[in-house]
Amino acid sequence: MPTSDDIRLDTLAVHGGERRPGPEGSMVFPIYQGTVFSVEPGTGYHDIRYIRLNSTPSQVYLHDKLAALESAEAALATASGMAALTTVLHTVLKAGDHLLASDCLYGGTHDFLTQHAENLGWTYTFVDPQRPESWAAARTPSTKVFLVETIANPLVRVAKLRDVVAFARQEGLTTVVDNTFASPVNFRPLSIGFDIVFESATKYLNGHNDLVAGVVAGSAELIERVRHTANLYGGSLDPHAGFLLARGLKTLAVRVRAQNHNAMALAEFLAGHPKIAEVNYPGLAGHPDHGHAAQLLSGFGGMLSLRPAGGLDAAEALIEALRIPYVAPSLGGVESLITRPAATSHAGMSAEDRERIGVTDELIRISTGIEDVADLIADFEQALQKV
Ligand code: PLP
């Protein structure tokens, strides 16, 4: 089995974690759907081979594959991206602890903190991940964790991740990063010193919009602690979904590169269109984070957002006239998706709060798929004529 030290990512996606020879000589690792396996008498609770304990053969195989892709000592699959986040936080925080969290988090993460942290005895302060000079003032003697996202929804802002690691090291904090939008193809946070990376594997990792899963990766010691938390909270991934995820992972590198390419070409086309007032994509030289994004990332990702010049009516007309993208709020799959965050992912926020973070009513978010980019551009061209 090749390891991440000497093999490039495209090869790891196909061969990382694979058993050679596989059971019965199988090239495809089978689905061991059994709930429980026979073990030696006296085996400890967390080492019994039982699906909830994340220790059955299909699960261990998937963990090895994920660890190879994340360049991590160890990884754990979870039942969703939210299960990954909550399991990590329950592992690294205890009652009385405080965390610094990015002020532009995925809606579910934001709601988890604002609606549940208090019940758990955690306090938090939202900080601007672009302004390192503001972080020291937010730190308290109880701060234990710094939580950020690589690329944040929906303005595709790229956090100052090297500064996060440097600050956290100086202050003795554990760093946790949600790398969902980048995927390990565009960025591997552990390589610049993050302690824990997690992703919603529902998105790019699986890439086919047909399962919900999460991944956590880091040092063997941290992941063992995370696994023990997961075993008790119970958000484990079923082996059947794990099989689909492992299959999706094999094409991760080619899919994400195609999405990077398509998003860049679409962003450039839209940025030059008279009916588009603004395009947000970190690959464009005019994006506020283009400079440090270009240094950090191997690719700028498949996500972009835009504001049509004609406001909300134009946004609705554009979405209506497009033929290729599905109107749906998720991301990262092979099909292009389009959504208006004010009506979907950010609908729970007040209009003033949305305005403050730039999620105006006419903002449109696009998750670029792997279609031929000439067809995507032609589709936007015909749709914009109707706006
Ligand atoms: N993190 C980010 C950045 C997301 O976009 C999402 C889902 O959209 C999640 C986490 C949660 O993932 P899941 O839906 O798999 O629980």
Please enumerate in sequence order all residues whose Cβ is within 8 A of that of 227, keeping only pairs 6 or more positions apart, or say none: 46, 54, 76
Are the C-beta atoms of residues 120 and 145 closer than 8 Å to each other? no
User: Is there an atom of ligand 1 within 6 Å of 212 CB?
Assistant: yes
Q: What is the pLDDT confidence band of residue 353, given thresholds at 50, 70 and 90? A: confident
Q: Which residues are catalytic?
A: 52, 106, 178, 203
Six-digit token string for 191? 């390589």
Per cent of the chain over pLDDT 70 is: 99
| The ligand 1 atom nearest the CA atom of 180 | 3
Q: CA quadruple 336, 148, 156, 264: dihedral positive or negative? A: negative
pLDDT score recorded for residue 355:
86
Tell me how far apart the alpha carbons of residues 353 and 330 are, in angstroms, rounded to a whole number: 22
Which pLDDT score, from 0 to 100, does residue 96 have? 98
Q: Which fold has domain 9-249?
A: Aspartate Aminotransferase; domain 2 (3.40.640)
CA of 155 to the centre of ligand 1 (A): 16
Q: What is the Å distance from ligand 1's center to 106 Cα? A: 7
Q: At what angle do helices 252-271 and 373-385 cross, to 10 degrees?
A: 30
Residue extents of the structural domains in the chain: 9-249, 253-384
Q: Is the pLDDT of residue 349 over 80?
A: no
* Ligand 1 close to Cβ of residue 338 (< 6 A): no
367 Cβ inside 6 Å of ligand 1 = no
Fill in the amino acid letter for 59: Q
Per-residue model confidence (pLDDT) at position 7: 85
Predicted confidence at residue 1, as pLDDT, reads 53
Percent of all residues in the chain with a pLDDT value above 90, rounded to a whole number? 93
Three-state SS for the chain is CCCCCCCCHHHHHHHCCCCCCCHHHCCCCCCCCCCECCCCCCCCHHHCCEHHHCCCHHHHHHHHHHHHHHCCCEEEEECCHHHHHHHHHHHHCCCCCEEEEECCCCHHHHHHHHHHHHHHCCEEEEECCCCHHHHHHHCCCCEEEEEEECEECCCCEECCHHHHHHHHHHHCCEEEEECCCCHHHHCCHHHHCCCEEEEECCCCCCCCCCCCCEEEEECHHHHHHHHHHHHHHCCECCHHHHHHHHHHHCCHHHHHHHHHHHHHHHHHHHHCCCCEEEEECCCCCCCCCHHHHHHHCCCCCCEEEEEECCHHHHHHHHHHHCCCCEECCCCCCCCCEEECHHHCCCCCCCHHHHHHCCCCCCCEEEECCCCCHHHHHHHHHHHHHCC
Which atom from ligand 1 is nearest to the alpha carbon of 85?
Answer: 10
Specify the residue with its C-alpha closest to ligand 1, atom 5: 106
Q: Is 108 in the pocket of ligand 1 (CB under 6 A)?
A: yes
Q: What is the mean pLDDT of residues 189-210?
A: 98
CA dihedral 312, 313, 315, 321 (to 10 degrees): 170
Q: What's the pLDDT tens digit per position in 23-61?
A: 999 999 999 999 999 999 999 998 899 999 999 999 999
**In degrees rounded to 5, what are phi and psi of residue 305?**
-140, 160
Measure the CA–CA gap between 78 and 57, rounded to whole angstroms. Answer: 15
pLDDT exceeds 90 at position 3: no
Two tokens at 137?
A: 């003032």
* Integer Cα distance of 337 and 325 in angstroms: 5
Per-residue pLDDT tens for 67-84? 999 999 999 999 999 999
* Residue whose CA is at the smallest distance from ligand 1 atom 12: 81
Q: Find out whether 272 and 161 touch, Cβ atoms under 8 Å.
A: no
Nearest atom in ligand 1 to 213's CA: 15
Q: Whose CA is nearest to atom 15 of ligand 1?
A: 81
d(CA 235, CA 52): 8
Shortest-distance Cα residue to atom 4 of ligand 1:
106
* Residue 353 burial class via C-beta count within 10 angstroms: exposed 0-12, middle 13-18, buried 19 and up: exposed
351 pLDDT higher than 90: no
CATH architecture of the domain with residue range 253-384: Alpha-Beta Complex (3.90)
| Order of strands, sheet of 337-339, starting from the edge strand that comes earlier in the sequence | 276-280, 303-308, 364-367, 337-339, 326-327
Structure confidence at residue 199 (pLDDT): 98
**In the block, residue with structure tokens 């991590």:** 72
What's the pTM? 0.97
Q: Is 82 in the pocket of ligand 1 (CB under 6 A)?
A: yes
